[in-house]
């Protein structure tokens, strides 16, 4: 996906609305334990474009702070940002986070089995996206498979370490560094920021801060998130540029391992039904979680098909000259 192709996209009301919808989907994913916003960005077709624009924003901030020619570097980097793409995306994300924070917390707490089943279907179907992208790229098959298996094993093991308790009065230092790590989910498919917050006990406090408009908490969280983005985005863009096939397969492995957190039937030592515990066999009315998992998978496949058609249409618009403008 090239920068040139991005700059050719016309800003129209339909595209603004589409990007806001994409942002809303990514924002929803950021609220759900076990689901990565990066995964959704991959599914809706804006992952590398989002990385590029976040990298430009990071370059602008670094230029402003470190120089040389701070003002010129800052303004130059900002001019290269696709504001017609990034602003609707961010507005959609922020709107959904503010609106849905309380609803999501209530849903996950009240219906842990059913909500996990829905999320399981969403993430499982999303595995198709990085896998298909990776198969189109040149590279060592053995190295790619090894990266996939190691990433899956590491993700599965790390998910199992989650305690699921809640920190009642977290320090702002803890909030800052937790945000720096959790925001990585925005750019690393398969890594759930919400699940990380759940594991260290900050999931419920963060949702409550959003729902209660706790500006102090949210300001510290935002500062930590900016630091996290500034450090990881450049690394990811380098990996995708130089080891694309292996990186995409590692992302798929992370997503596969993260399904450990989303298996509907679990027992938690902490007594928190939303926490991660020992995986157990299906119990109760199994058909309801299974149906929800199928619905989640169907939603992802629908998004994939819609995005593929939109991408094909954009390609035609890019390569086909506008004969009405020919003298």
pLDDT digit string, tens, across residues 253-277: 888 887 887 788 887 655 555 555 6
Separation CA 309–CA 45 (nearest Å): 11
Torsion angle defined by CA atoms of residues 90, 94, 95 and 99, in that order, rounded to the nearest 10 degrees: 160
User: Token match 């430009």: residue?
Assistant: 56
The token pair at 208 is: 């409550």
Nearest 5°: the CA angle 188, 128, 104 is 60
Cα atoms in the Cβ-side hemisphere of radius 13 Å centred on 287: 0
pLDDT band at 88 (very low <50, low <70, confident <90, very high): very high
Distances (CA, A) of 11 to 61, 84, 227, 268: 25, 6, 30, 48
User: pTM above the 0.75 mark?
Assistant: no
The residue among 150, 138, 151, 318 whose CA lies nearest residue 244 is 138
First to last CA, the chain: 32
Is the model's pLDDT at 177 over the cut of 80?
yes
| pLDDT value for 128 | 83
Top pLDDT among 117 and 211 is at 117
**How does DSSP classify residue 188?**
S
Does residue 56 have a cis peptide bond before it, meaning omega lies within 30 degrees of 0?
no
């Amino acid at each position: 996906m090239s920068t040139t192709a991005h700059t050719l996209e016309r800003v129209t009301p339909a595209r603004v609305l589409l990007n806001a919808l994409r942002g809303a989907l990514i924002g929803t994913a950021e609220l759900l334990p076990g689901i990565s916003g990066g995964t959704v960005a991959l599914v809706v077709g804006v992952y590398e474009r989002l990385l590029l624009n976040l990298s430009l924003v990071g370059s602008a901030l670094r230029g402003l702070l470190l120089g040389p020619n701070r003002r010129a570097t800052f303004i130059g980097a900002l001019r290269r940002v696709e504001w017609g793409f990034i602003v609707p995306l961010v507005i959609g994300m922020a709107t959904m986070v503010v609106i849905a924070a309380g609803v999501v917390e209530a849903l996950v707490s009240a219906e842990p089995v059913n909500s996990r089943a829905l999320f399981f279907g969403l993430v499982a179907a999303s595995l198709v996206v990085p896998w298909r992208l990776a198969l189109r790229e040149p590279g060592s098959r053995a190295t790619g498979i090894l990266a996939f298996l190691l990433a899956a094993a590491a993700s599965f093991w790390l998910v199992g370490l989650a305690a699921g308790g809640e920190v009642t009065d977290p320090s702002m230092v803890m909030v800052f560094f937790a945000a720096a790590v959790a925001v990585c989910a925005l750019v690393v498919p398969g890594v759930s920021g919400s699940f990380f917050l759940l594991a260290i006990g900050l999931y419920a406090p963060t949702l409550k801060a959003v729902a209660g408009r706790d500006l102090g908490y949210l300001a510290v969280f935002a500062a930590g998130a900016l630091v996290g983005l500034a450090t990881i985005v450049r690394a990811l863009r380098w990996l995708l540029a130089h080891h694309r096939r292996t990186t995409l397969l590692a992302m798929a492995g992370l997503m596969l391992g993260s399904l450990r957190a989303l298996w509907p039937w679990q027992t938690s030592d902490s007594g928190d039904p939303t926490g991660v515990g020992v995986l157990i066999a299906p119990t109760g009315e199994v058909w309801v979680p299974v149906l929800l998992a199928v619905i989640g998978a169907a939603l992802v496949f629908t998004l994939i098909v819609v995005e593929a058609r939109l991408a094909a249409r954009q390609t035609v618009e890019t390569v086909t000259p506008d004969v009405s403008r020919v003298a």
